[in-house]
Amino acid sequence: AQKITQTQPGMFVQEKEAVTLDCTYDTSDPSYGLFWYKQPSSGEMIFLIYQGSYDQQNATEGRYSLNFQKARKSANLVISASQLGDSAMYFCAMRETIGGKLIFGQGTELSVKP
Amino acid sequence: DGGITQSPKYLFRKEGQNVTLSCEQNLNHDAMYWYRQDPGQGLRLIYYSQIVNDFQKGDIAEGYSVSREKKESFPLTVTSAQKNPTAFYLCASSIVGTPYGYTFGSGTRLTVV
């Protein structure tokens, strides 16, 4: 069965510094997608970045990059040059291509300090 | 603009009452999903539907019911059998058969009073 694990309930980072949020996953499906979502206090889920299991290169979207290590089954999110507006909950999620259900980790609450 | 609309944003329910949460999408997505989120926790799947007039239970379906009579609509009923319904409920939709992610609504916060 597929599973997502985020081991950091809370993280602090200084403004303008980089931060890495950890995510490990487990699946027996060779084809899957990995996602990171941001959830501010308003509750909406904001899509940040996507990595396909067959993608050769790590995904990047602006200040977000995904450090994909397939053999270790990890998909860490790196946020560069943190901003105060980055303070939020961050969720790692996985979707198997067949079946299509998106499952989520427990989340990491990121606080950016000025 | 295409998107998902959830209503109402806040909902209060007395114990023993059923209540229905609305979810409508105009993205022409085949699949729709309902998630529950408790404070400080991740999202847990309640029900999902990949085609009209068909739906499947997720991980925590007990005390909930759904219908999918139209492609655009996937309402969730929280019944009196749900012992702890106070939570944040998120609806989402997606294209079936692709690895891409979901589009989420803005959520409904349900409180039992």
User: Which of the residue ranges A81-90, A103-112, B100-109 would you say has the lowest mean pLDDT?
Assistant: B100-109
DSSP element (H, E) containing B34: strand B31-37
β-strand pairing of B19-25 with B76-78: antiparallel
**Contacts of A56 by beta carbon, 8 Å cutoff, 6+ apart:** none
Residues of chain A contacting residue B50, judged by C-beta atoms under 8 Å apart = 100
Higher pLDDT, A101 or A22: A22
Closest CA to A90 of A32, A23, A24, A26: A23
> Can you tell me the distance from the alpha carbon of B113 to that of B109, in angstroms, rounded to the nearest whole number?
13
Q: How many helices (DSSP H) and strands (DSSP E) are in chain B?
A: 0, 11
pLDDT greater than 90 at residue A67: yes
Residues of chain A contacting residue B102, judged by C-beta atoms under 8 Å apart = 45, 102
pLDDT greater than 70 at residue A97: no
**Mutation for A interface: B21, B37, B96, most A CBs within 10 A:** B37
Q: What is the pLDDT of residues B54-112, one digit of tens each?
A: 999 999 999 999 999 999 999 999 998 888 999 999 999 998 776 667 899 999 999 99
- Are B42 and A107 a contacting pair at CB < 8 A? yes
pLDDT greater than 90 at residue B39: no
Residues of chain B contacting residue A100, judged by C-beta atoms under 8 Å apart = 31, 50, 94, 96-97
pLDDT greater than 80 at residue A9: yes
- Closest residue in B to A10 (Cα–Cα): B40
